[in-house]
Structure 1
């Protein structure tokens, strides 16, 4: 597991947000963490697999970079990032990727809570509106928010509000990807649910901090928590 540090690409003092540099950083992060091996590829082949997404990442964030709005993407302050490179569970199982996460500045690995009974993670699949596009098992998630405005809001109501805004809820894989690339996004009292993955009951998966490490757990859709928001994104692309 790498030692997560604040990325200079997200530095609010920088004149512009460098989308190309940020995409390359995210690829290097995945390679360093062993994602190529998890997906059955060499580092070179894995890099080739995700390379076609680079142009889209740059194109979609070019206007923000030209306007010099990098401060809006300081994740420690706003809880927002312009894009996240996601590897699906068919290439990198959740049980293998969650331990590769850590808090910003921390070294304890993330873990899956024991409240997930054996075999239950496989049943938490993407809802129809949150289904990842494409068939390669990798995609980009744009305009990502951890959604702290929904802290203290009933998750069911938060999910309805997100849908009403034309935004999409994050899946478990996307939440793990967000934490992997931008560990400073997960902080005390600003953790988040991922309503894009459901298993047919009232449970909503969430990421929060426990024992000084990230934990993947779940909460009931009717129970609000003051420290748990609802993560969402503007779009997906494969």
Structure 2
């Protein structure tokens, strides 16, 4: 089936769409907030989105290529990862995403952002110039992470990977899944999101083991308010 291809990018409309997506998925209730309060919490990021991607507003974007201008991220302080992951689906799918049982009890809490991937907002922020990184499929994760760092880009965290497929489920496709090297727990495990049982799955792989179907996702920057930077 032929894909629709690139479409004109309107950052204001895209920001509204992402807020609407989170609201429809029950994030306000999940966060313990009324819908109006949840929307108000995110609203300051609108100006950030418009300012950050102003140069791209007249261009085009194509999520199926694995590249998107910005993604609205809600942190685990507001919404637990197990709950947000269960609100993801594959593009056109119905089965909810899930956390793999290979995460022992308490393990997710230990996978925190590395200093290089520390986020700039307590509850919500934006990641910019996002790539799922399929060029690194088949690469050793440690080597992929070093290459990305050398480009001045930052590895995505678990929350950011969940946000990416929440807003752009078409990014997660067979043989183009991705690792999330921005969250580590002090051992050799690297979190990753891939497809299992016809649904998104959050699992992990060893940092020295390459997989032909796992790339390495990254972002160009993180921002909470205009002018702030988290990378």
TM-score category (smaller protein): over 0.9
Separation in structure 2 between the aligned mates of residue 21 and residue 143 of structure 1, nearest angstrom: 17
Which structure 2 residues correspond to residues 1-238 of structure 1 after superposition, within 5 A? 12-14=5-7, 16-66=8-58, 68=59, 70=60, 73-76=61-64, 78-135=65-122, 137-238=123-224
Shift, 1:229, TM fit: 0.1
Separation in structure 1 between the aligned mates of residue 119 and residue 140 of structure 2, nearest angstrom: 26
Q: Which secondary structure state, in structure 2, belongs to the residue aligned with residue 30 of structure 1?
A: helix
Shift, 1:128, TM fit: 0.3
Shift, 1:127, TM fit: 0.3
What are the superposed Cα offsets for residues 80-119 of structure 1, whole Å, 9 maximum, x if unpaired? 0000000000100001110000000000000000100011
Q: Which secondary structure state, in structure 1, belongs to the residue aligned with residue 82 of structure 2?
A: helix
Residue ranges of structure 2 left out of the alignment (5+ in a row): 225-231
Shift, 1:139, TM fit: 0.3
Residue ranges of structure 1 left out of the alignment (5+ in a row): 1-10
Q: Which secondary structure state, in structure 1, belongs to the residue aligned with residue 72 of structure 2?
A: strand
Shift, 1:134, TM fit: 2.9
Q: Which secondary structure state, in structure 2, belongs to the residue aligned with residue 92 of structure 1?
A: coil
- The TM-score normalised by the length of structure 2 is 0.94
Shift, 1:56, TM fit: 1.2
Q: Which secondary structure state, in structure 1, belongs to the residue aligned with residue 71 of structure 2?
A: strand
Separation in structure 2 between the aligned mates of residue 201 and residue 113 of structure 1, nearest angstrom: 18
Q: Which secondary structure state, in structure 2, belongs to the residue aligned with residue 152 of structure 1?
A: coil
Q: Which residue in 2 is equivalent to 1:4?
A: none
Separation in structure 2 between the aligned mates of residue 214 and residue 115 of structure 1, nearest angstrom: 15
Question: For residues 12 and 42 of structure 1, do their structure 2 counterparts lie closer, same or farther at Cα, with a shift above 3 Å needed?
Answer: same
Q: Which secondary structure state, in structure 2, belongs to the residue aligned with residue 115 of structure 1?
A: coil
Shift, 1:32, TM fit: 0.5
RMSD: 0.9
Shift, 1:13, TM fit: 5.0
Shift, 1:61, TM fit: 1.4
Aligned length: 221
Separation in structure 2 between the aligned mates of residue 187 and residue 134 of structure 1, nearest angstrom: 29
